[in-house]
Amino acid sequence: MRLRSNLRRWVVFAIAWQLLVLLFVGVYVGVLSRSPQTSAAWVAPAVGLVVGTALPLQVVVAGLLRDLSR
């Protein structure tokens, strides 16, 4: 029972963190897209942040689902 409670708390934290990252990236892209850019490289930090925070979450969720299906 305690494991389920801890897992639920972690999932809520992970979802809140992803939403915060997406909000930050949206603001970043919104602000920088208003000024003229010479190349598309300005979007690289935003893409890196989204991918960098989403990939570990995908690995953990895949592992949890594999353990739960046993």
Name the amino acid, one letter, at 68: L
Asked if 46 and 25 count as a contact pair (C-beta separation under 8 A), the reply is yes
pLDDT at position 1 is 72
Name the amino acid, one letter, at 35: S
Tokens of 52: 């960098």
pLDDT at position 26 is 95
Q: The domain containing residue 47 runs over which residues?
A: 2-68
d(CA 19, CA 6): 20
Q: pLDDT tens-digit profile of 5-64? A: 887 888 888 889 999 999 999 999 999 989 888 888 999 999 999 999 888 888 887 887
- Domain count for the chain: 1
What pTM did the predictor assign? 0.75
Asked if 25 and 50 count as a contact pair (C-beta separation under 8 A), the reply is yes
